Structure 1
């Protein structure tokens, strides 16, 4: 049975702005509403490896092995810095004509998926989060954890789509001001860089 506590806690976690939310917002603003749907889907699919690793107990490796954790952490940090550099380099006035044409949907989704897949803290989060909502008397906890994970992913998808569609409404305002669009792009680039540095400085454990 799915508890109200799990639903509420999951909603709060999903609503908190993180790297995935930031990526979805940036995609909606600079590539349009359709692209933001791919971004939301990609970020949601990026949860799958961490969720399966946690459910199957593989996340314990990241929690106990400093080397494994550091490896994934630095790869993830470098990827975020790469995204920041790419966005900073392409900074320029926005136009509505580029809606969905800058990148293919699959490219947008892949980037979103990699953002979450290369975050080792996500698997550790699931390892600590999921078991709290599995009843102690359940003989087969695996199916229950998979159901909980599926609900968490569905929430993520719905919330991220909502963020993306809301951000898409701001495109019309940003295109009216070249300076505002350039500043916004630089802010997103700086935010991705800050998140990359933060991830790189994250301590094991």
Structure 2
């Protein structure tokens, strides 16, 4: 949530014959390690409620909704949000829409990270950004909250700001004193026409994050 929307939303060798010994790894443990490294939590930030569905501030929800619909998967109501599971190239993407409203987003992120044993480097948070022109993409591996209450709460709950975030520009084309109305308003006709292509790119970013890695994804998509 943006600041001005506070209420909405080596141990020594023992015997010579141990030199070539390898640590034993039980198969179930090995598989568990692999499954953790190939699992990603993609969190689209937004506000719940029909009145917010098509608003600029809900672009995080809209992006994960787009990917889910495109791939024919459904969201299920779960603790602290709605969750959809998407499998692609050996990776599992958990698409999460928190139901906590923006300023409590960290609670849902922490819960699902712990429950699914997902490491911090496999988290991607998707938010809107007033400081970027419409549809502009900016992906970073860490950073401040930038005045966004959703990121602010995630930073507080996780006690770090070293996680990947994907900012989607919504521009700042509003008159003085109309920031809240603008952010919580619907897209204009020009934006609605351009959104499908932008959402397509956004869905590719999610897949690239899990398959090509963050650095490659930043190189390929930033500024696009």
Shared fold per TM-score greater than 0.5: no
Structure holding more strand per residue: 2
- Whichever of the two has the greater Rg, that structure is 2
Higher relative contact order (CA 8 A, sep 6+): 1
Structure holding more helix per residue: 1
What TM-score, normalized to structure 2? 0.27
